[in-house]
Amino acid sequence: MKPIHHLNSSMAPASPEAPLPVVLAGARGHGRWHLDNLRRLQDKGLVRLAGICELTPLTEDELGGFRAAADLPEQSADFGALLDSTGAAIAVICTPIPTHTDLALTAAARGVHLLLEKPPAPSYAEFRRIADGVAAAGVVCQIGFQSMGSHAVPAIRELIARGTIGRVYGVGGAGAWSRAESYYRRAPWAGRRRLHGADVVDGVLTNPLAHAVATALVLDGATRAEDVAGIETELLRANDIESDDTSCVRVTTVDGGRITVAATLCAEHPGEPYVLVHGTTGRITFWYKQDRVLVQRSGHGPQEFTYGRTDLLENLVEHLEGRAELLVAPDATGAFMKVVEAIRQAPDPLALPDDAWYLEADENRRVVRGVDGLVAAAADTLALYSELGVSWALPKEVST
């Protein structure tokens, strides 16, 4: 395993004065998390929520803690005009995946720095448009993989570098979540591969459990697009959707590393997703949403640690003030975007046979029989579903 290519970029030369004016594009759905986080950072004096871009303005109840007249942000459906009128220094983009490129480039053209939600784009070509566009404009772009703010990531990399678990020969990832059928009806783009001729690629590995893929790649040290030698995908679905909800992927790196990630949104007993680093004398398990790490190695008892986490918007502000290095620059997600591209180019997901799943009526969700153990086995053995003897798994699709 080679040393990691740095997630961060160089220190920013600019030192704008706090609080920095911020515009939030997309304040409903997951955007509500950003709204709460902006309130927290505003209370700390780091930022000021200057504007919200939504097709329908937020109500007073939705604005919550921003009800005071002095705190009320400007609202508009015109993103560019809102950036101009508010004098925004930062834009947080949490909108449907196909809109990311145009919004990011609109901000970059105005010299506005970015926190761009994951996945940054629905294709590698669109990702390059964003990465090249923000670089040409001289603005800073942070990609919203929150797990990269976990202090566990550098701690695990240090354990690996010290040989704590011997020679690392692979990294697995497992995510067994559940989603009701209403999850796929919440927006026109949900569960779609394409919409009105545009790529969406809203699958289990590219959106809800994208962190499992990105985190596994980071722990392997394969973050850039050029670190990827080949990608194998197996995309399936139990739900009546266009995209995949039960899938696995295996990435081979130019150094011969193997990263296998398996995920489902049809779990029998949903649990915390994790990444598993395999070494010749031990293993490290990282529950990335909890910042929790378990180290198991020969000749020692198990050791468990819980780490802190740096918020990515806060890190972006500190970077712009010259006080920190950026945690997740665009090129540090190039390998992840190669996975997105392989999934985009793969054949449409295979519908599982009716006897492979059942409906959990109380929760109105589809459950794939035995999938929890299958996801865990893939992470444990670095094998794909088809290699684990599952009758309904299709042969792998290979991308190089």
| Distant-in-sequence, close-in-space partners of 253: CB < 8 Å, separation ≥ 6 | 220, 222, 227, 228, 229, 259
Question: Can you name the residues that pair with 278 across neighbouring β-strands?
Answer: 170, 283
> Last residue of some domain: 115, 147, 179?
147
Same domain, 74 and 211: no
| Distant-in-sequence, close-in-space partners of 283: CB < 8 Å, separation ≥ 6 | 165, 276, 277, 296, 297
Mean pLDDT by 10 residues, the chain (400 residues): 49 66 96 96 96 95 73 93 98 97 98 98 98 98 98 98 98 98 95 96 98 98 98 97 98 97 98 98 98 97 98 98 97 98 97 97 97 98 96 75
pLDDT of residue 6: 44
Same domain, 192 and 334: yes
pLDDT of residue 15: 59
Same domain, 193 and 300: yes
Question: Can you name the residues that pair with 143 across neighbouring β-strands?
Answer: 116
Whole domain around residue 71: which residue ranges? 20-147
Q: Look at the chain and report how many structural domains it folds into.
A: 2
Same domain, 341 and 204: yes
Instruction: Examine residue 316 and state whether it is found in any structural domain, yes or no.
Output: no
Same domain, 245 and 124: no
pLDDT of residue 1: 52
SS3 at position 176: strand
Mark 315-340 as b/e (b = at least 16 C-beta within 10 Å): bbbbbbbeebebbbbbbbbbbbbbbb
Same domain, 79 and 189: no
> Last residue of some domain: 147, 181, 209?
147
Same domain, 181 and 303: yes
pLDDT of residue 66: 77
pLDDT of residue 157: 98
pLDDT of residue 30: 94
pLDDT of residue 13: 44
What CATH number did the domain enclosing 287 receive? Answer: 3.30.360.10
